[in-house]
Structure 1
C-alpha cells in the first residue's frame, strides 16, 4: 500500500487538538517528522497499549535505534534518547533501575508526605491571599510551578538555592523550539547542576532520595554502586518528570474548571470528587502530548497492513490516544462524572510512571485548596487568549492570568 508522506509535528504545539485529529485520521499509526527525525506516531489506544507492553518494543536507543549516533549530535531532543536511566532502559536493566527508585514512591512514603504537601499548598494560598485583590495573578507562576517544585525538592533533597535553576533548565528540556546548540547548552548546564546536587548530598546526606541513590547498591551486580551516568540521569528523570508534568495538570484542571461552570458545580454539590476532576483532566488534557522515543526490536505488522520495520522509531502520542472516539465516544468533552476513567497520561506497562500517586495527590490538594479559598476566582483574559507552551511534548499554557476575587 502507498504510504503518506510523514506528518510534520509542530514544534511550538500551536494547535494540538487539530494535530491530534489529523494523526488519528491517518490511521492507528502514521509516519511523522519529529524535529527532523522520522518516527511512527501511534494514536490508537489499543495498538499503543499493545506496543507499550510488547518485548518487541524497546526504549534503549543505543541498542535498538540505528539513528542514535546521528541524533545525539544533531537532534534538539537528544537528551530524551541519550539519558541512561530507567526512562531509556530495556529488559533486565530497566527492572534493576526501577527497583532502586520504587521505594521513593511507595504507598507508605506518599502517605507520609501528605502533611508536607498540604502545608505547601496552604503556604502558597496564603501568599495568593496577600496579593492585591484588583490585580491579575499568573496562577501558573504562583501555584502550578512552586508546588511541584517544592514537593519534588522535598523528596529529592534539592537545596532551596538550587530550585529556581532546576526549574529554568527543566523547562528547557521540554521546549521543542530550541536549536540543537541551545538544547546542548541547556543539557550541559543541567548536568552541572545535577553534579552540584550530588556533591551537596554526598557531603551532607539526609533522608531524601538523592542520598539514598548515592548510597544504593545493586545486589545483582556484586554490590556495585550505580554508574555515575545512571545516578545523574536517574535523578534528572525523577526531578523533571515529577515537576513539569504536575505543573501542566494543575494548569489544565484550573482552566477547565474556570471555563466549565457546570463541572465546577458538580464538585461543589458533591456529585463528583476532586479526584474525579484530576482523573478526567489527565485523560482530557494530559501533561505530555507525545513522548519520544521507542524502537522496534523486530518487524512489527500493523492492523492496517503497514509494518514498523526493525530499528524504526516509535512515538507514543498519548494525548491523541486519550481522545480517540473508539475509546471514549464523546472524547472531546470534559466530564468528571465519566464512568470509564481509563487513560494513558502516565504511560502503560513496565514504564508506567512511578510518581503517579504523588502527582494525583498534589493536584487534588491544590485544586481543593484553591477553589475553597477563592470561590469567585475567574480568568483575567478570554480563554481563547491563553497561549500553549512552546512544545510538542509539554501540554500547558505560557501564562494563566486570573482574578482571585469577584470584581
Structure 2
C-alpha cells in the first residue's frame, strides 16, 4: 500500500471476549503493513505478520526510546510512563541487568512452594464459602497480587489503596487525561515512599535489592527506580490476573480441551504455551517502535523516523507459523508465540507468570475437579476501555 493513501482508522473494532478481529487475517494475506491513524498521536504502520513483528520487536534499527521525541501513536490519552519498556540499549541493559538476577528460572522455581501454597489457601476460602464463587475476586486478583507484592515488598494490605491507580497504565476510554495523570502520580508517590523506607530499613524483597543495587552499582535515578517498580507491580498484578481469568474462560469455552487437560496433566506445560498464544491479552497493539533508518517490511518501506505498531494478537494467529492458527489446541507442539513479546523487551517475568498460571490451574483441578461456570458463558461481562482484556467476574459452581 502506498503511504500517500489516507490512513485507516484504528482500532478496527472493539475487542469482544477472546475474539481476534478477522480483518487481521485478511491484512496478513493482502496488506500486512498498513498505514493507520490511532485515537491519539501521529499516524503509524500497523504490522500484522509474525515475521515482521519479530523484526519490529527485535531489530535494533527499531527504537523504543525515540518515542519520547514524538507524539507516539497510541490508544491511550497520554503516553505511558514505561521505564524499562521505553529504553534502548545501553540504558535498557542497565535496568535489565538489575532485574535479571531476580527473574531467573532457578530463582523463580524456589518460589514454587510459596506460590502453590497461596493458590491452595485461596481455594480453601472458596470451599469454606461454598458455591457459587467468583474466581476473579476470589482467586485471580488476590493470587497475582499476593505473589507480586510478596516479591517486590509492597504491603498487600495496601492493595485497596493502590489497585485503582494501576488502571491508569492501560486505560483507553474509561479515564480522562487528568485522572490518568493523577493516579500515575499517586502510584509513583506511593512507590517512592516505599523506597525511602527500604533505604532506611532494607528487607528481603526486590525493592530493597533494587535500591541497594542502584546505590552501589548501577546508579539508577530515583525516577528510573520508581517507574521500574511501578511497571513490575502493574504487570505482576493486572496482567497476570487477567491472563489467568482469560485462560479459565478459554478452557470453559472449549470443554473438550478442558477435559483433555484433566485426563492428561502432563500436557500442562504445553497447555500454558497455547493459552499464552490463544488469549489476546493485549486487545490491540503494543508500544510503537521507531525506525532509525529506512527498513523494508513485507515489501513496504518504513522510512527513518516513522513508527510501527506491532499487533501481537495477529502475529499469534499467523497461519504461516501456526498450523490451524485459529484452533485452540492444547497438544500443539510448534508454538513460537509472542505472548511475552520478543527481543530485548521480552518479558523478564515470563518464568514467574508461567509458574503462577500452572500453580493456579493445577490447584483448581485438584480441589474443584467438576467446577463449571455458574452462568451462561455468553452472559459474562468484560472490562471496557482498557488495553488489557479481562473478565470482570467468573462465577463458578462445583
Structure 1, unmatched stretches of 5+, are none
Matched, 1:276 2:270: yes
Q: Distance in 2 between matches of 1:196 and 1:154?
A: 17
From 287, 290, 293, the equivalent of 2:288 is 293
In structure 2, the residue matched to 1:8 is 10
Partners of 2:349 and 2:307 lie apart in 1 by 26
1:183 paired residue number: 180
Spell out the pairing of 1:1-400 with structure 2 (5 A cutoff).
1-2=1-2, 3=5, 5-9=7-11, 13-14=15-16, 17=19, 19=21, 21-26=22-27, 27-37=31-41, 38-61=43-66, 65-67=69-71, 76-79=77-80, 82-83=81-82, 85-133=83-131, 136-177=132-173, 178-217=175-214, 223=217, 225-270=219-264, 272-289=266-283, 290-304=285-299, 306-391=300-385, 393-400=387-394
Per the normalisation by structure 1, the TM-score is: 0.89
TM norm structure 2: 0.91
Residues 56 and 308, structure 2, Cα contact 8 Å, conserved in 1: no
Distance across 1 between alignment mates of 2:190 and 2:127: 33
Q: Does the residue aligned with 2:335 lie in a helix, a strand or coil?
A: coil
Deviations 1:343-372 (A, max 9, x none): 000011111111000000000010010121
CA contact (8 A) 1:296 1:313 kept: yes
Q: Is the 8 A contact 1:272 1:337 kept in 2?
A: no
RMSD, matched Cα: 2.3
- Alpha-carbon distance between aligned partners in 1 of 2:366 and 2:323, rounded to the nearest angstrom: 32
Q: How many positions carry a matched residue from both structures? A: 390
Q: Which runs of 5+ in 2 are unaligned?
A: none
Offset of residue 244 of structure 1: 1.6
Q: Deviations over 1:207-265 (max 9, x none)?
A: 1110011111488xxx5621011111111121112222211221122112222221122
- Deviations for 1:23-56, whole angstroms, at most 9, x for unmatched residues? 3423222233333223222120011112211111
- Give the distance between the partners of 2:334 and 2:262, measured in 1 at CA: 22
Q: CA deviation at 1:165?
A: 2.7
SS in 1 for 2:369: coil
- Measured at CA, do residues 18 and 110 of structure 1 come closer, stay the same or move farther in structure 2, by a change above 3 Å? closer
- Contact 2:36–2:46 at 8 Å: present in 1 too? yes
Deviation at 1:312, TM superposition (A): 2.3
Q: Distance in 2 between matches of 1:75 and 1:118?
A: 36
